[in-house]
């Protein structure tokens, strides 16, 4: 009987270990990532991808970029110094942010609501001043630039927004990325010319003539008039819906 009791105790102990085995196993990478997201993001904000390593300040401590949704589903981004699971540094929010002029921030989001991480292009580019910059393209319409301004100044952010996208072959650009010096933004017309694929064009040029002690990225825009959106002529010049071409019923000439 004593042997049976011992066997029963052993069986019970093994069962308890098996039932609680999940708590004894180390957390998976997915669980660790989720825990690091929850530790950094405010309540109600959710990550839409994992940490992405970047290096804008050119020091030995690694930086990590995180994309997330906030408020009504808009996409934002932050950079954290060090290991996301143990870092005690406060996150630096690229967007949203509230201490820059509105003119420099476009729509002030990385991408509109509902944009998945797969539709957000993140590319680090080597430059001159700044030495490194981050280019983020959200949903093809929000073009954001981020760079390190220096100790005590943090990260600088500039954004261009074009409702019809930009005149860049992004797949080709990513093969050999370089700082964008100029780019054309397309803005589709919403009046009776919309069916003809007509856009207002704006040429954005990077300003290299501005004096300053801090590295900066500033663009100025210049209207370029009207053209077909993305420079593509529609296959057929549709008339506006509800219109018909005029037909002339002219009298026969006198004989």
What mean pLDDT is predicted for residues 199-222? 91
**Higher confidence at residue 231 or residue 216?**
216
What mean pLDDT is predicted for residues 130-139? 96
Q: Which two tokens stand for residue 92?
A: 């630096």
Per-residue model confidence (pLDDT) at position 230: 82
Asked whether residue 91 carries a pLDDT value surpassing 70, the answer given is yes
Per-residue model confidence (pLDDT) at position 146: 96
Would you kindly state where each structural domain of the chain is located, as residue ranges?
29-231
What mean pLDDT is predicted for residues 234-239? 58
Percent of the chain with pLDDT over 70: 77
Per-residue model confidence (pLDDT) at position 58: 80
Query: What's the pLDDT tens digit per position in 182-207?
Result: 999 999 998 887 778 899 999 999 99
Asked whether residue 16 carries a pLDDT value surpassing 50, the answer given is no
Per-residue model confidence (pLDDT) at position 25: 61
Asked whether residue 245 carries a pLDDT value surpassing 50, the answer given is no
Per-residue model confidence (pLDDT) at position 129: 85
User: How high does pLDDT run on average in the chain?
Assistant: 83
What mean pLDDT is predicted for residues 1-15? 46
Q: Which two tokens stand for residue 151?
A: 């100790």
Contact of 183 with 149, CB cutoff 8 Å: no
Task: Quote the distance between the C-alpha of residue 202 and its chain's center.
Answer: 21
Q: Residue ranges of the alpha helices (H) in the chain?
A: 2-19, 21-24, 29-40, 170-175
The region of weakest confidence among 13-17, 51-55, 73-77 is 13-17
What mean pLDDT is predicted for residues 209-235? 85
**Higher confidence at residue 215 or residue 29?**
215
Query: What's the pLDDT tens digit per position in 139-177?
Result: 999 999 999 998 889 999 999 999 999 999 999 999 999
Q: Which residues pair with 185 in a beta bridge?
A: 166, 202
Secondary structure of residue 196 in the 3-state scheme: helix
- Count of helix runs (H) and strand runs (E) in the chain: 4, 12
Contact of 99 with 21, CB cutoff 8 Å: no
Per-residue model confidence (pLDDT) at position 24: 54
């Amino acid at each position: 009987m004593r042997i049976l009791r011992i066997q029963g105790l052993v069986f019970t102990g093994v069962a308890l270990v098996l039932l609680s085995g999940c708590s004894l196993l180390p957390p998976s990478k997915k669980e660790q990532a989720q825990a690091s997201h929850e530790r950094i993001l405010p309540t109600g904000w959710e990550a839409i991808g994992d940490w992405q390593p970047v290096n804008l300040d050119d020091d030995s401590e690694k930086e990590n970029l995180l994309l997330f949704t906030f408020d009504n589903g808009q996409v934002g981004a932050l950079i954290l110094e060090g290991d996301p699971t143990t870092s005690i540094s406060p996150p630096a929010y690229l967007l949203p942010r509230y201490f820059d002029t509105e003119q420099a921030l476009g729509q002030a989001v990385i991408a509109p609501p509902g944009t998945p991480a797969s539709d957000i292009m993140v590319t680090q580019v080597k430059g001159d001043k700044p030495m490194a910059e981050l280019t983020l393209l959200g949903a093809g319409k929000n073009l954001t630039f981020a760079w390190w301004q220096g100790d005590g100044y943090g990260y600088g952010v500039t954004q261009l927004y074009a409702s019809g996208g930009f005149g860049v072959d992004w797949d080709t650009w990513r093969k050999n990325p370089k700082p964008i010096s100029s780019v054309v933004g397309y803005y589709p017309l919403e009046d009776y010319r919309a069916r003809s694929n007509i856009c207002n064009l704006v040429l954005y040029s990077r300003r290299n003539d501005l004096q300053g002690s801090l590295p900066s990225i500033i663009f100025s825009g210049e209207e370029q008039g009207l053209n077909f959106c993305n420079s593509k002529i529609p296959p057929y010049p549709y008339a506006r819906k509800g219109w018909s071409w005029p037909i002339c019923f002219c009298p026969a000439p006198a004989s």
